[in-house]
Structure 1
C-alpha cells in the first residue's frame, strides 16, 4: 500500500512465525470477551444484591484491617482505600474486569512501560492509564537502581496495583465506594465485637514485637493508653498493617525522640571517669623457714646414724 503521492506505507512489524498456541489463545480471548458481554447484557447486575454483598464483606474484620493504606509524604501522612478493598468491591458489584499489562521492559534505560485498566462489561465503560515505572527505589540516600529481576518485578507490581486501584474506583459508583469506606471504618472502631481494652492490649503487644515501646505509642496517639479511643486503636491497627506490608517504615511513623538541650549540655559537661588501673599480680609468698627447719629436724631424728653429744661422750667419743 502507498500514500496518494506514491510513498509506500510502512508496515507494522509482525512475527515471522506464529505458534499454534498463540492462535488458540487469540481465539479464546476474543470468544471470552464476547461471552462476557453477552452474559452481562442478558443477566444484568442486581444493585441491591451487590450492596448486600458489600455490606456483608465490610463487616468482616479481616477485610476492614486491610481496607486502608497509610504512608508518609512531605507535609504529613497520606491514607486512603487500598487495592484490597477495590478488588473486593469489584467482586461484589459484578461484571467488572480489571488488570495490569507490562507492555515493554527496557533494561538499558531501566524502566518499564505498563498499563492498568478496568472495564464495566455491562455498561461498556472502560478506563485505562499507561505509565512508565523507573527501575528505582527511593531511599534516604536517594534513588537506588534495581538490578535483581525479583526487585524489578515487585516494584512494577507495586506501582501497577496502585493504578489498578484507581481504575476500579473510577468505574464503581461513588456512593458504593463511600458507603464501603464508612462500613470498614465502623468495623475497625467496633473491633469485631472485641472489647476496647483487649484491642489496646493486643496492639501494644504486637508493636512490642517489632520494637515499638508503649511510650512511642502514647506519643503517637497523644494520650496515655488508658484514654485511647476506639478510633485511636483503629488507626494504630492501620499503621501496623502498613508497616507489615512494607508501605511505611516504622522509623518514619515512630521516629526516635530527639535529645533535649539539657541532655546535650549534660553530656558535654559530665567528665568521663578515668579507667581503673589494672590489677597487680599478688607477690609470691616467702618460703616458710620454720616449717622447713622442723621438717629437717624430723628427718634428722629419724636418721639411725645420728647421735646426740651425750651419747657420743658415753661411747668414748666414737660414733
Structure 2
C-alpha cells in the first residue's frame, strides 16, 4: 500500500511524464505511417480509377454535392461524403477531427488532412459552442453524446475543406463530373418516378410541397428534366446537411395562395351552379302561354256536337 501511495505521489510531482510518453508514442506512430507511405507510394492512375469507380455508385452520387444560396447566387461543391471517398481512394492520407480541449460551454477542436507522401498538411482549429438553435432560442447541451455530435457536425465542414486542399483539383473535378453522369444514367426507373420520389421526400422530411417547388422552378413538375432533378437533389442535400434553410429556397406562402385560389374557384363554380336553376326558372316565368284567340284553328278538322 505504501509503495502505491509513493508511486502516485511521484506521478503527481512529475505531471509531464505521462504527457511526454504520450507525445513520444504519437511521434513513433507518425514516423511509422510516413515510412509505410514511402515504401508503398500511391499509383496515381490506379487511385484516380478507384475514385471514378466509386463515383459510379448511385448511392454516393446522390449525396456527392451540396448547394446553398449566398448573396443572390447559389454556391455548390463536393460534400463531406465525396471528400471522404476521395481521401480513402487517393491513399496515404491521414485525416480526421480531434477535440483538443473541452471548456465550460465550449470545445476547441481541430480538423486536419495530411498527405504522408508529399508532407502536405491542411489543418483548421475552431471553437464549438455547446448549444444549438431552436425555435425557443438557444439550448445548452449537457449530454456528452450531444456535445460529441455537435463537434463532429461542425468539424465535418472543416474536414471537407482540408481534404479538398491537398487532393489535386482536376481529380476533384473529374469526380464531380462522374457523379453527375451517374445520376443522368441512373436507369433504375423513369425520370417521372424519380421526380415523384424526390417530391415525396421533400414533403415528408422538410414539409416542402409540390406547389412550392414548381413556384421556384417556374413550371410544372411534369416538365422537369434531368438537370432539374439534379438541382432538386443538391437542394435536398443542402437542407439535410444544415447548409441552408427552407426559407432560402422556397416561398412558404405559395401553398396557401394555391389553396385560397382553389377555394375561390370552387366557390365561384358553386355560385354559378346555384344561379343556373334560378335563371332557368325566371326564363320560364317570362314565357307567356298563347291564348285561345291567338290560336289558329282549322275549322275543317274540328267537329262540334
User: TM-score, normalising length from structure 1?
Assistant: 0.67
Is 2:200 aligned against 1:212?
no
CA gap of 1:118–1:43, structure 2 versus 1, over 3 A, is same
Q: Is the CA contact (8 Å cut-off) linking 1:146 and 1:152 kept in structure 2? A: no
1:247 deviates by: 4.2
Structure 1, unmatched stretches of 5+, are: 1-12, 264-319
Is 2:153 aligned against 1:158?
yes
SS of alignment partner, residue 123 of structure 1: coil
Tell me how far apart the structure 2 counterparts of residues 18 and 233 of structure 1 sit (CA, whole Å).
56
Alignment match of 1:117 (pick from 108, 112, 115)? 112
SS of alignment partner, residue 116 of structure 1: strand
Aligned to 1:15: 15
Is 2:171 aligned against 1:176?
yes
Tell me how far apart the structure 2 counterparts of residues 213 and 83 of structure 1 sit (CA, whole Å).
28
Q: Is the CA contact (8 Å cut-off) linking 2:133 and 2:139 kept in structure 1? A: no
Per-residue CA distance 1:274-309 (angstroms, 9 max, x = gap): xxxxxxxxxxxxxxxxxxxxxxxxxxxxxxxxxxxx
1:76 deviates by: 4.8
SS of alignment partner, residue 55 of structure 1: helix
Tell me how far apart the structure 2 counterparts of residues 104 and 242 of structure 1 sit (CA, whole Å).
30
Tell me the matched-pair count: 246
Q: How do 1:170-249 and structure 2 match up within 5 A?
A: 170-191=165-186, 194-210=189-205, 211-249=207-245
Q: Is the CA contact (8 Å cut-off) linking 2:131 and 2:141 kept in structure 1? A: no
* Structure index of larger Rg: 1
Q: Is the CA contact (8 Å cut-off) linking 1:50 and 1:92 kept in structure 2? A: yes
Aligned to 1:55: 52
Structure 2, unmatched stretches of 5+, are: 1-12, 261-305
Aligned to 1:147: 141
Tell me how far apart the structure 1 counterparts of residues 74 and 107 of structure 2 sit (CA, whole Å).
28
